[in-house]
């Protein structure tokens, strides 16, 4: 590449009837100045291009870093959403399991209460039947008591000798009172 100094110092052969020496020299001087300006502009452009390339490289690195950060953020977001979905599904399954268990226990409790109610109803019916039998027996005794005539009492005698054997009661029958009392006690225990 030719330099501006070479242009200024260039000499031509002298020939007869050649160009005007001053005019050629002035042209070469102007050309060297123009060439110098072009080289300076080229140097400035190269420096600017180097700076721009450095900036481009820095911006490219920043862009790559931002891209990686964005990709990581997207992946993190997807992971977070997936984890939240899995936790929600797990909690939903746990809640459904607990609800089924509560319903199952409720049904079992209801069935147990139903059985207890049926048992109490059966025991009530037994007690009522036993009371009816007891009351009927006592009513029969009361009716028979009204029908029995008492013998005339002796003034100085013992009541049991007047009525008969010691095992017999006022009605002339064997003592059933203890069995009725036992039956009544059993009924009261049931209550």
Residue 153 to residue 65: CA distance in whole angstroms: 129
pLDDT for residue 124 is more than 90 = yes
- Cβ-in-10-Å burial (0-12, 13-18, 19+) of 53 comes to exposed
Residue 139 to residue 128: CA distance in whole angstroms: 16
125 CB contacts (<8 Å, ≥6 apart)? Answer: none
Residue 111 to residue 117: CA distance in whole angstroms: 10
- Looking at residue 155, its pLDDT comes to 46
- Looking at residue 158, its pLDDT comes to 47
What three-state secondary structure class fits 168?
strand
**Phi and psi torsions of 172, nearest 5°:** 85, 10
- Looking at residue 93, its pLDDT comes to 95
Task: Please report which confidence band the pLDDT of residue 131 belongs to, taking 50, 70 and 90 as the band edges.
Answer: very high
- pLDDT tens digits for range 5-43: 877 777 777 777 777 778 788 888 888 888 889 889 999
Residue 105 to residue 109: CA distance in whole angstroms: 6
pLDDT for residue 109 is more than 60 = yes
- pLDDT tens digits for range 146-169: 776 655 555 444 444 444 444 444
Residue 25 to residue 151: CA distance in whole angstroms: 186
pLDDT for residue 96 is more than 90 = yes
- Looking at residue 72, its pLDDT comes to 94
| Average per-residue pLDDT for the chain | 81
């Amino acid at each position: 590449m030719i330099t501006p100094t070479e242009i200024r110092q260039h000499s031509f052969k002298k020939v007869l009837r050649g160009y005007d020496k001053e005019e050629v020299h002035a042209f070469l001087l102007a050309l060297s100045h123009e060439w110098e300006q072009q080289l300076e502009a080229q140097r400035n452009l190269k420096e600017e291009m180097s700076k721009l390339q450095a900036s481009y490289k820095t911006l490219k690195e920043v862009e790559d870093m931002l891209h990686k950060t964005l990709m990581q953020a997207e992946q993190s977001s997807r992971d977070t959403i997936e984890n939240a979905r899995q936790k929600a599904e797990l909690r939903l399954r746990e809640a459904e399991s607990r609800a089924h268990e509560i319903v199952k226990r409720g049904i079992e409790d209801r069935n147990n209460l139903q059985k207890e109610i049926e048992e109490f109803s059966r025991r009530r019916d037994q007690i009522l039947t036993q009371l009816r039998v007891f009351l009927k027996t006592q009513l029969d005794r009361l009716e028979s008591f009204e029908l029995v005539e008492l013998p005339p009492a002796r003034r100085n005698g013992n009541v049991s000798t007047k009525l008969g054997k010691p095992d017999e009661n006022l009605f002339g029958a064997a003592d059933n009172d203890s069995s009725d009392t036992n039956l009544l006690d059993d009924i009261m225990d049931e209550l």
